[in-house]
Structures are given as structure tokens and as C-alpha cells.
């Protein structure tokens, strides 16, 4: 797989899977099943506390940049550790082909983790927002690079109607400018990873963070590997950090949580 085409290839595969999902469970039937869903847990409240930096701890088996990160991958066991360490929120990778995730992991995680769960995937249309709520997600990730202003607005509004948070992720200034036009966007993610080349540059946060209005809640993703990194983000004024790779690579996940966050 060419690195430069990574995002394109993921999206192409996602569109194929989406067609199949709609055949198995049509939209109207999916919507009707939502009546039995438990109310969503408050993602925004969990990750924003003044003068503190919160942790969104990730559960993922693999990534396009690293391949398989964790061989002995047990989502339930990892979620138990996060619950024990009182992690504020959990991010679950559900993309099947490049991250080896599964939509089923959300319910598994929520059976042992009491905080909110973010569904991290490549969400392109309304169907996936309804699907996320049906699966038990309390919040969704939207990637600004993949969506028009109108589509982001529509998906954020829909998520809100369903009681979910929507974390809108940007990688560069032009994407930030795009989403700042959208009034309902309260949660902004700064991704230090370029999704096209997969390269990580921690300085990305330094460039983008000062451009974000103070009334938005900011989450920083990718490249966070040490307590010094987390401390830097806290001093900057970031509300939460989303950490995946550093935790998944660790033999002792619980200890790594404590080490990274200074708990």
C-alpha cells in the first residue's frame, strides 16, 4: 500500500463495507432499533475540566503505520484496566480492514467501562451516525479532511440529536478554518499525524492550538509518548489527550497510564 494513498484506500474500503451494512440492516430498521438504546454518556463533560488534562485512552489492535501493535489483543481486558485506572473516556477503533477493529468492541468495552466511549472510524454519512448510537457509542470522530462544511454540520447536528458528542479532527490550518464556520462544533481534535503520509509531527499542535477560539474544547491526538508531552499539552491549555500507540505497545498498560498522566 502506498503511504501517500493511505486515506484514500481506507475510505474506498469503508464505502464498500457501508453498502454491505445497509443491505444487512437498512437505515429505517436501524433507526427503529434505537428506541431500545440506553441514553448516551456525556462525553464532553467527561473530557473537559478546567485546569486539568483528561485522558481518552484508545483500544486498537493495529494501524496502517505500524501494522499489528498488540498481538495479545483483548478489548475487554484493556477496558477493565482503563476502568480500574479511572480513565475519563475510551476511544475504540472499529475500522476492520486497516486497524483490525470491530464494531462489536463498543458493547464489550461498555460492559466493563463506566465512562463514555468514542467510536473512532471513518464516518462519511448519516447511516454511520445512527449505527454508532445503535452500537452503544457515546461520541463519534469526524475527520474534517473527508467531509464538506455542510456534511460536517449535518453529522454534528445529528449526533447531538441522538445525545452523542462529535469530535471533529483537523490536521492543518485550512481544515480548522473550514470547521470554525460551523457553529455546533464544540469539540476540536488536533491530529499530529498526516493521514495521507502517516507521518507524525508533534509541532502541529503548537501551530494549530493558538488559532482555536477559547470557547472550544480541544483534544490532541497522535505522537503523545511521555509525561513531558502530556505536561506540555496541559500547560498549553489542551482539555484532553487521546493516546493509543504508547498504551497498546506497553506490556503493562495500567502502569503506562499512570506514567503518562502522572497519576
The pLDDT > 90 percentage for the chain reads 85
CA distance 2 to 18: 23
Cell numbers placing 147:
467531509
Catalytic residue (choose from 61, 120, 178, 256): 120
Query: Could you read off the pLDDT of 202-214 as tens digits, one per residue?
Result: 889 999 999 999 9
Catalytic residue (choose from 95, 131, 175, 221): 221
- Sign for the CA dihedral angle at 158, 102, 104, 107 comes to negative
- Examine the residue annotation and report whether 234 is marked as an active-site residue of this protein: no
Catalytic residue (choose from 60, 61, 178, 256): 60
Q: pLDDT grade, residue 1 (50/70/90)?
A: very low
* Among 168, 164, 161, CA closest to 146: 168
- Examine the residue annotation and report whether 29 is marked as an active-site residue of this protein: no
Catalytic residue (choose from 169, 175, 194, 256): 169
Q: Of all residues in the chain, what percent are helix, strand and coil, respectively (each to 5)?
A: 45, 15, 35
CA distance 200 to 246: 14
Looking at residue 123, what is its pLDDT? 98
Looking at residue 76, what is its pLDDT? 96
- Examine the residue annotation and report whether 108 is marked as an active-site residue of this protein: no
DSSP H/E element including 199: none
Own/partner contacts of 16-24, CB < 8 Å, gap of 24 or more, are 17/96, 17/97, 18/124, 18/125, 18/127, 18/128, 21/127, 21/131, 22/127
Q: How many CB atoms are located within 10 Å of the residue 262 CB?
A: 10
- Examine the residue annotation and report whether 192 is marked as an active-site residue of this protein: no
Looking at residue 119, what is its pLDDT? 98
Query: Selecting from 3.20.20.70, 2.30.30.90, 3.40.50.150, 2.40.50.140, what CATH number does the domain 3-22+53-261 have?
Result: 3.20.20.70
Catalytic residue (choose from 63, 192, 194, 222): 222
DSSP H/E element including 219: strand 217-221
Asked if pLDDT for residue 255 goes beyond 90, the answer is: yes
- Residue 70 CA, chain-centre distance (Å), reads 18
The DSSP letter of residue 239 is: S
Q: pLDDT grade, residue 36 (50/70/90)?
A: confident
For residues 221 and 209, the answer to whether their CB atoms sit within 8 Å is no
- Examine the residue annotation and report whether 148 is marked as an active-site residue of this protein: no
Catalytic residue (choose from 58, 95, 131, 175): 58
Catalytic residue (choose from 63, 91, 132, 191): 191
Q: pLDDT grade, residue 3 (50/70/90)?
A: very low
Amino acid at each position: 500500500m502506498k503511504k501517500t494513498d493511505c486515506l484514500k484506500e481506507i475510505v474506498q474500503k469503508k464505502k464498500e463495507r457501508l453498502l454491505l451494512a445497509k443491505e444487512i440492516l437498512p437505515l429505517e430498521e436501524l433507526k427503529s432499533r434505537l428506541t431500545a438504546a440506553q441514553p448516551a454518556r456525556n462525553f464532553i463533560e467527561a473530557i473537559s475540566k478546567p485546569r486539568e488534562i483528561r485522558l481518552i485512552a484508545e483500544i486498537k489492535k493495529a494501524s496502517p503505520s505500524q501494522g499489528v501493535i498488540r498481538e495479545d489483543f483483548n478489548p475487554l481486558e484493556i477496558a477493565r484496566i482503563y476502568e480500574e485506572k479511572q480513565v475519563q473516556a475510551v476511544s475504540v477503533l472499529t475500522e476492520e480492514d486497516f486497524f483490525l477493529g470491530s464494531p462489536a468492541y463498543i458493547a464489550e468495552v461498555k460492559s466493563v467501562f463506566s465512562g463514555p466511549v468514542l467510536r473512532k472510524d471513518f464516518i462519511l454519512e448519516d447511516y454511520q451516525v445512527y449505527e454508532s448510537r445503535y452500537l452503544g457509542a457515546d461520541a463519534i470522530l469526524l475527520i474534517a479532511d473527508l467531509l464538506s462544511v455542510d456534511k460536517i454540520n449535518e453529522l454534528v447536528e445529528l449526533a447531538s440529536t441522538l445525545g452523542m458528542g462529535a469530535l471533529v479532527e483537523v490536521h492543518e490550518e485550512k481544515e480548522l478554518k473550514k470547521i470554525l464556520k460551523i457553529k455546533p462544533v464544540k469539540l476540536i481534535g488536533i491530529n499530529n499525524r498526516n493521514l495521507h503520509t502517516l507521518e507524525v509531527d508533534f509541532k502541529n499542535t503548537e501551530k494549530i492550538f493558538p488559532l482555536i477560539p477559547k470557547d472550544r474544547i480541544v483534544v490532541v491526538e497522535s505522537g503523545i509518548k511521555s509525561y513531558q508531552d502530556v505536561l506540555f499539552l496541559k500547560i498549553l491549555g489542551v482539555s484532553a489527550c487521546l493516546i493509543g500507540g504508547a498504551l497498546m505497545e506497553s506490556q503493562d498498560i495500567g502502569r503506562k497510564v499512570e506514567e503518562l498522566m502522572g497519576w
